[in-house]
Amino acid sequence: MKYLCFGLFDRKKIDALSRNELDELMRKCEPHLKGLYGSSNFLMDIGVKSGGVALGRLKGRIERADGNAGPGMMREIGNVFIIEAQNMEEAIEAAKMHPALSLPEGEAFGWSVEIHEVHTYEVKRGLRQRP
């Protein structure tokens, strides 16, 4: 089975860091990401640029909120990654290698990971696949 994972963070806490502090924090992430990328569960990682748009329906209309956190949400999506695992418990163990969970500093910045089982996905060439 495939699992779609969202790496989340608190924008205000990250924005409070100096450029040097942020660079140092990202350097600390590198070995954890290498571990994740080298695991047999890892399929893909996509970094998400801040400043996206959230859309939703409200009273019959499509409403827009700027920022990929959506209205009223404190955390933003920092990355999206896909892992393959036999079940949710194995997916959880694989996701624990992500810096959001494996790097102690992540707690101070509101880092977390959401994991969702994928039931269908489509690839660009139009081939529908089931995990």
| Domain chopping of the chain, boundaries | 2-129
> What is the structure's pLDDT at 38?
95
- Which range, of 22-26, 74-78, 117-121, averages the lowest pLDDT? 74-78
The yes-or-no verdict on residue 70 having pLDDT over 70 is: no
Structure tokens belonging to residue 121: 């996905």
At 26-68, the pLDDT tens digits run 999 999 999 999 999 999 999 988 777 777 788 889 888 776 5
CATH match of 2-129 with 3.30.200.20: no
Confidence grade of residue 19 (pLDDT, cut at 50, 70, 90): very high
Mean of the per-residue pLDDT values of the chain? 86
Q: Where are the alpha helices (DSSP H) in the chain?
A: 11-15, 19-38, 88-95, 99-102
Q: Which residues pair with 75 in a beta bridge?
A: 10
> Residue 3 phi/psi, 5° resolution?
-130, 130
pLDDT score at 73: 56
Does the structure show a pLDDT above 70 at 79? yes
pLDDT number for residue 12: 85
pLDDT tens for 4-16 read 999 999 888 998 9
Q: Which two tokens stand for residue 69?
A: 């956190």
- Global pTM reads 0.81
